[in-house]
């Protein structure tokens, strides 16, 4: 059965381009296109698509208003299409908090030159969101929804030996980060480094948002920036973050485009691997919701160096790809919801401070 897609965009060119990209892929089908948000809401109710690609800036009804109504009236997964600007990134983060599953950035100035890359990115996200929605529907109809009863016991970890906390996320990650990172207190005593798959302008907006809600200082990493205990360091989009040893002092962050073979920049694999090698004490790695298996290779290195991996549970993941990869490899010692991860990190902070 094909994944059914509704395309909503006020640009004739973008509607045609997105439709052609999706319709040209086996297993995907565009069931309708809409010229603005109001039409998108009506077509979503009529066709009940699996996935909606939704522009943010539109006449008559903007994308955020349409998103709210589509999420209220249909079970569709919504992929926001945002301009590659500061305003677009801020609106995108708001959309994710409102229930959008993911965001794809469109740069009109370079669209023609990078159409093949955008097609690959768009198709992979639509497929992942459609398949994830189908699995969640099957769990609900099969009565396999998890029980919330019982008290939660945070996973154990040797806090005296902890050297760094590294977190990796992709699709659906920003709202989870907004849930778990405010639970960390400056007394944690080790650097926290976060790699979220996003363009640079989006990670800049995310850093500002996290600064507003976190007790810890939040810094967007720059080349050669020393990592400070009790500070949350956010990897910038478009570059890999390599953790490097610097004598007997705290490790530093080195940013570059290598290895180019890694599809996503920042790569969770690169962050985890280099942190495990550079830090004298074991690393705790947390793998959150996301497409694919970025983080698997790095998680193996963390475990090889006596560190630990926690992962997000399937039921709470927008796309159970990255956490599934580490769980199935036997590398994750705990599969937790965002709320449980937040509690576990708060508990870790409290014990570290004591």
| Catalytic residue ranges | 170, 197, 294
Contacts of 26 (CB under 8 A, 6+ apart): none
Q: Are 294 and 142 in contact (CB under 8 A)?
A: no
DSSP character at residue 250: -
- The neighbour count for residue 195, using CB atoms within 10 Å, is 32
Q: Are 218 and 182 in contact (CB under 8 A)?
A: no
Distance between CA atoms of residues 128 and 226, nearest Å: 37
The upper half-sphere exposure of residue 150, i.e. CA atoms within 13 Å in the direction of its Cβ, equals: 7
For 77-140, give the DSSP string: EEEEEEESSHHHHHHHHHHHHTT--EEEEE-GGGTTTTHHHHHHHHHHHHHHHHHHHHHHHHHH
Main-chain phi, psi angles of 277, to 5 degrees: -80, -30
Q: What angle do CA 201, 187, 210 make, to 5 degrees?
A: 20
Contacts of 285 (CB under 8 A, 6+ apart): 166, 167, 168, 272, 275, 295, 298, 299, 302, 307, 308, 309, 310
Residue the block writes with tokens 């009565």: 143
Distance between CA atoms of residues 262 and 180, nearest Å: 27
DSSP character at residue 218: E
Contacts of 338 (CB under 8 A, 6+ apart): 175, 176, 179, 180, 312, 316
Residue the block writes with tokens 């709320």: 339
Q: What angle do CA 211, 216, 219 make, to 5 degrees?
A: 55
Contacts of 151 (CB under 8 A, 6+ apart): none
């Amino acid at each position: 059965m094909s994944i059914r897609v509704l395309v909503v965009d006020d640009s004739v060119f973008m509607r045609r381009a997105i439709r052609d990209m999706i319709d040209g892929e086996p297993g995907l089908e565009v069931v309708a296109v809409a010229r603005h948000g109001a039409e998108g809401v009506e077509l979503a109710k009529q066709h009940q698509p699996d996935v909606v690609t939704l522009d943010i800036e539109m006449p008559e009804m903007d994308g955020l208003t349409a998103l709210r109504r589509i999420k209220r009236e249909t079970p569709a997964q919504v992929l926001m299409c945002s301009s590659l600007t500061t305003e677009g990134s801020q609106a995108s983060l708001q959309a994710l908090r409102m229930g959008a599953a993911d965001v794809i950035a469109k740069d009109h100035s370079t669209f023609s030159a990078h159409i093949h890359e955008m097609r690959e990115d768009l198709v992979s996200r639509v497929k992942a969101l459609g398949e994830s929605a189908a699995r969640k529907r099957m769990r609900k109809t099969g009565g396999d929804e998890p029980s919330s009863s019982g008290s939660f016991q945070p996973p154990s970890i040797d806090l005296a030996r902890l050297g760094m906390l590294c977190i990796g996320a992709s699709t659906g990650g920003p709202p989870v980060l907004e849930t778990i990172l405010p639970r960390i207190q400056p007394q944690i005593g080790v650097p926290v480094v976060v790699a979220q798959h996003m363009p640079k302008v989006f990670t800049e907006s995310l850093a500002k948002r996290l600064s507003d809600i976190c007790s810890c200082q939040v810094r967007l990493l720059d080349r050669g920036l020393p990592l400070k205990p009790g500070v949350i360091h956010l990897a910038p989009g478009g570059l890999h973050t390599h953790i490097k040893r610097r004598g007997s002092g705290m490790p530093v962050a080195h940013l570059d485009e290598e290895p180019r073979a890694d599809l996503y920049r920042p790569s969770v694999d690169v962050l985890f691997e280099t942190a495990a090698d550079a830090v004298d004490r074991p690393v705790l790695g947390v793998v959150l919701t996301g497409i694919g298996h970025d983080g698997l290779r790095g998680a193996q290195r963390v475990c090889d160096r006596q560190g630990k991996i926690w992962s997000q549970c399937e039921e709470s993941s927008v796309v159970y790809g990255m956490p599934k990869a580490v769980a199935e490899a036997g590398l994750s010692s705990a599969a937790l919801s965002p709320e449980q991860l937040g509690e576990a990190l708060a508990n870790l902070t409290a014990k570290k401070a004591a």
